[in-house]
Structure 1
Amino acid sequence: MGKTTIIAIAGASASGKSLFASTVYQQLVAELGSDGIAILAEDAYYRDQTHLSLEQRQLTNYDHPSAFEHKLLAKHLQQLRDGKSIEMPQYSYTTHTRLAETIPVSPGRVVMVEGILLLSDPELREHFDISVFMDTPLDICLLRRMQRDLEERGRSISSITEQYQATVRPAFFEFILPSKQFADLVVTRGGQNEIAIDLIQSKIRQLLAE
């Protein structure tokens, strides 16, 4: 299969990570075919909380590094680099815990992973060939987050704003923003920065050719 290039796309919640990843993905599929690319989401690696009641799960700080099972994510990234398939967990935003089902992910020449705290973890950083940080103003992120959570996750305005003030915003300044220093590329204007996408494409081609 050749060398595997692992790309991390980090940044604040609703900063445009998913849009950026999907745009890069579509272009890579056109070049490599869908079998050559694997995509992981850090959110899938939220810790299993089936041992807790729903009320207790709602108290979890989902913006803190301890909420994620990063060691499992690191293990899966290494397995994909070694040419082995993995079973990626699935997480429910409704029940706030993992589902019983997993998603099989086959290794590819390009592995993309997106999430808020990827660059804050030293062990994870060792696995990334390219690290991208989406640098989007917090007010834009908040507006996007409100629209997403209202339309897709059934949240109320009050619950969104309470969580944002209690955990999302503090975690951004404590963990996410400081991790920007570890990015190879800082991307402005959300996920629609075509120049940044072209730069990533060029670097991927270079790494794959080595």
Structure 2
Amino acid sequence: MEPPIIIGVAGGSGSGKTTLTRALMDAYRGRCVLLRQDDYYARRDDLAFEQRAALNYDAPEAFDDALLIEHLARLREGRAVDSPVYDFADQNRSEATVRVEPRPVIIVEGILIYADEALCALFDIRLFVDTDADVRILRRIRRDVIERGRSLESVEHKYLTTVKPMHELYVEPSKRRADLVIPAGGQNLVALDMITRAIDRRL
């Protein structure tokens, strides 16, 4: 059995990573699995909820990259993994896991998947979704307030104190490690066609 193709989809918060990921999942339905870096936030049972809420979730140390690397290595070897599930309401990793079976195409989505050199080295194709900051913040407000139940004040505070500075410090520089920088994400049909052609050649 040929080893799978591992594709990274990175970009800032609200950039359109999920839209691009869904388009790729649709294109390779039944042959594709997805791991989200968000689910690999480090478990913090040692902290109270208020302490967890104050953590910086946009810095590399917020993630358990060692576990994500281990899971990708196992999937590449043809072995299934139990991916963690992050609970955004509790702001901690939940007790639940999701069984992920190996497939020919593995997609990993996350803001900082290229910040760690060992993790970055595992990707066969590195994509970066590039979107203007004003668009990203509007999308983040909509997502965090409507989908995650956060207050507008907390979203504003988090953006100014961690999201924006961490984007400038870690996310934006990681763009240099991408093979392809994609404006407009999943809405960019030309880029999507180029990506699927590259995947098809490797399958």
* Equivalence for 1:100: 95
TM-score by length of 1: 0.95
**Distance in 2, Cα, partners of 1:12 & 1:85:** 29
Give every structure 1 segment of 4 or more consecutive aligned residues whose post-TM-superposition deviation is greater than 2 Å: none
> Deviations 1:4-60 (Å, cap 9, x if unpaired)?
10000000001000010001110111xxxx1x2111000000011112101110111
**Distance in 2, Cα, partners of 1:92 & 1:50:** 12
Residue 183, structure 1, aligned to residue 174, structure 2: no
* Equivalence for 2:147: 152
SS in 1 for 2:114: helix
**Distance in 2, Cα, partners of 1:190 & 1:98:** 28
Residue 86, structure 1, aligned to residue 81, structure 2: yes
TM-score by length of 2: 0.98
Q: Structure 1 stretches of 5 or more lacking a match?
A: none
* Equivalence for 2:194: 199
2:24 aligned partner, one-letter code? V
Across the two proteins, how many residue pairs are aligned to each other? 203
The Cα of 1:76 is off from its aligned counterpart by 0.5
Q: Structure 2 stretches of 5 or more lacking a match?
A: none
Task: Kindly indicate whether the alpha-carbon contact (under 8 Å) linking 2:42 and 2:64 is maintained by their aligned counterparts in 1.
Answer: yes
Task: Kindly indicate whether the alpha-carbon contact (under 8 Å) linking 2:3 and 2:77 is maintained by their aligned counterparts in 1.
Answer: no
% same residue:
40
SS in 1 for 2:95: strand
1:139 aligned partner, one-letter code? D
* Equivalence for 1:19: 19
* Equivalence for 2:162: 167
* Equivalence for 1:141: 136
